[in-house]
Structure 1
Amino acid sequence: MKIASINVNGIKSAVDRGFLDWLSEQDADVVCVQNLQVKSFELSEEILYPEGYEGYFLDAEQDGFSGVGLYCRQIPKAIMYGLGFEQCDHEGRFLQADYDKFSVASFLMPEEPEAKLKFIAQYSDYLNKLRRKRREYIICGTWHIAHKTIDVRHWAEHQTTPGFRAEERAFMDQVFGPMGFIDTFREIDRDSDQYTYWPKLDQEVPRNRQDGWRLDYQIVGPNLQRSVKDAWIDTEATFSEYAPLFVEYDLEP
């Protein structure tokens, strides 16, 4: 099973830059999209239901803000909208597709520092509860936090920058430590210069030479650790300041 995750940073502008063409060329079973910045009823049929996919979306209440979606080749058994707390659900930050033995979620963490820390307090409770469930989960999306120094190109300059502050990184230490979740990309690739976001994207300069950040993750519980077969970042896709993150799992929908 191949899962892709991409922060489109405005799906209409991403479509104008070639998102749908890119999507048609991928052999992905599920594509998780974040930061749609539009209500789903404002989208055309070709965006809602690209050939070969069923689209599912959770809109933010605020216009032009947030929003997440899932493109699924196989229709899920159920769709779960939100996590039951206002900051998540009203801002369109979590959408989950349930299959027989596992679930795939599209997730978008708040970017603004105070909102992020408020969200983390409630999101941590949710993640801890997952450890007690029999179902397996694959949570995909933008966390707006770079975990280690290897995940920020000029990390020494960014120690007080939102997204790399000590309290944010400490939360990721908990996620990949006591909470028991696995950073699937780092299971496969431990090299430097592996980023998913470039704040000043310049088409003339190769992405790996710019001020890159790895802000996007696909995380799983320990029972799925051995199911992770491959992972990579598609730096050739330039319809967003974010790059698609792919992970292949030894799973069937």
Structure 2
Amino acid sequence: MSLTVSTVNVNGIRAAVKHRSAANRGFHSWLDGAGVDIVLLQEIRASEDLAREALAPALDDGWQLAMSPSVVKGHAGVGVLSRLPLGAARTGFGSAEFDATGRYLEVDLDTPLGPTTAASLYLPKGAAAPVADTEPKLREKYAEKVRFLDEFGAYLTRLARRRRHVVVGGDWNIAHAEADIKNWKGNLKNPGFLPHERSWVGERLAGGWSDVMRDLAPDEAGPYSWWSWRGKAFDNDSGWRIDYQLANRSLAARAVKATVDRAAAYDLRWSDHAPVTVIYD
């Protein structure tokens, strides 16, 4: 009687499922061998019709999909792919600014562990470079992230109190601690590792949520879940741990194993992220 949940930023579902060879069908090859019950998807970057077309082999095999696409074509989009029957689905978290942008979706399910809510999150990145006073576009991108954190943080506080199991998995775009980035010294001024962001994660962990991977591997560097496509980042394992599952107390107490499904080689990657899988028992 266990529940296995994966979360992965697919970096475009249509690209992730492209057949590279008979033996490697991208996302579908991974899904066939993953042995999971629920997959939380981020950055689908497609309409629901196009996503269902890309996921047709899985849907024909009995998987069910709930999805929240973005109103911006080809941008963001989150989903819940499940072997278990899907219950009520809710898009967003009550935000006039963000609910239509394909960044949060939660679904209720009856699981072997009891009533469970599984949510997929794609938190804004903020910017790809240091936020300096002379760069107004970067400042606005980061300001958008701060607004998201403020609204979503308040929602997570309420969500943690639900009298059922809850897991929020996704691309959080924040590395909480030095152990979560290979080159943490070189990223002290970069979005994703700024003091405000790291404190925000810490507040969630102090408010009823558990970072399941870190709880199960407290002394491990990483394990990283994202590597740049550029250079030798993947080969050198110079990555970031920004994909994780936060579970409320009742579900976190059931976590027994967490892994990152890192590709065996650079040319076998179907996303710049790797699935993060947790077994709850």
Q: Which TM-score applies when normalising by structure 1?
A: 0.92
1:218 is paired with a residue whose SS is strand
Say what the alpha-carbon RMSD is for the aligned residues.
1.7
Please tell me whether the aligned partners of residues 164 and 250 of structure 2 are also in contact (alpha carbons under 8 angstroms).
Answer: no
Q: Describe the shift of the 1:96–1:193 C-alpha distance in structure 2 as closer, same or farther (beyond 3 A).
A: closer
Alignment partner for residue 19 of structure 1, among 22, 27, 34? 27
Q: How does 1:97-108 map to 2 (within 5 A)?
A: 97-100=107-110, 101-108=115-122
Please tell me whether the aligned partners of residues 98 and 104 of structure 1 are also in contact (alpha carbons under 8 angstroms).
Answer: yes
> CA shift at 1:74, angstroms?
1.2
Matched, 1:238 2:269: yes
Please tell me whether the aligned partners of residues 44 and 51 of structure 2 are also in contact (alpha carbons under 8 angstroms).
Answer: no
Q: How does 1:16-95 map to 2 (within 5 A)?
A: 16=18, 18-45=26-53, 47-48=55-56, 49=59, 51-95=61-105
Structure 1 match to 2:240:
213
Moved more, 222-231 or 116-125: 222-231
Structure 2 match to 1:183:
211
Structure 2 match to 1:156:
185
1:102-158 residue CA offsets vs partner (Å, 9 max, x unmatched)? 211111101122221110010011011123321221001011000000000010110
Please tell me whether the aligned partners of residues 56 and 71 of structure 1 are also in contact (alpha carbons under 8 angstroms).
Answer: yes
> CA shift at 1:45, angstroms?
3.4
Q: Which residue type is aligned with residue 128 of structure 1?
A: T
> CA shift at 1:56, angstroms?
1.4
1:46-65 residue CA offsets vs partner (Å, 9 max, x unmatched)? 51525231111111000010
Matched, 1:134 2:132: no
Moved more, 118-127 or 192-201: 192-201
Please tell me whether the aligned partners of residues 160 and 166 of structure 2 are also in contact (alpha carbons under 8 angstroms).
Answer: no
Q: Which residue type is aligned with residue 186 of structure 1?
A: R
1:196 is paired with a residue whose SS is coil
Q: Describe the shift of the 1:226–1:11 C-alpha distance in structure 2 as closer, same or farther (beyond 3 A).
A: same
Please tell me whether the aligned partners of residues 194 and 208 of structure 1 are also in contact (alpha carbons under 8 angstroms).
Answer: no
Please tell me whether the aligned partners of residues 80 and 96 of structure 1 are also in contact (alpha carbons under 8 angstroms).
Answer: yes
For 1:68 and 1:43, locate their aligned partners in 2 and report how far apart those are by CA, in whole Å: 11
For 1:193 and 1:220, locate their aligned partners in 2 and report how far apart those are by CA, in whole Å: 19
For 2:275 and 2:167, locate their aligned partners in 1 and report how far apart those are by CA, in whole Å: 16
1:99 is paired with a residue whose SS is strand
Alignment partner for residue 253 of structure 2, among 216, 226, 233? 226
Gaps of 5+ in 2: 21-25, 127-141
2:41 is paired with a residue whose SS is strand
Moved more, 92-101 or 153-162: 92-101
Q: Describe the shift of the 1:50–1:217 C-alpha distance in structure 2 as closer, same or farther (beyond 3 A).
A: farther
Kindly report structure 1 stretches of 4+ aligned residues shifted beyond 4 Å: none
Structure 2 match to 1:248:
279
Structure 2 match to 1:9:
11
Q: Which TM-score applies when normalising by structure 2?
A: 0.83
Count of residue pairs the alignment pairs up? 247
For 2:168 and 2:159, locate their aligned partners in 1 and report how far apart those are by CA, in whole Å: 11
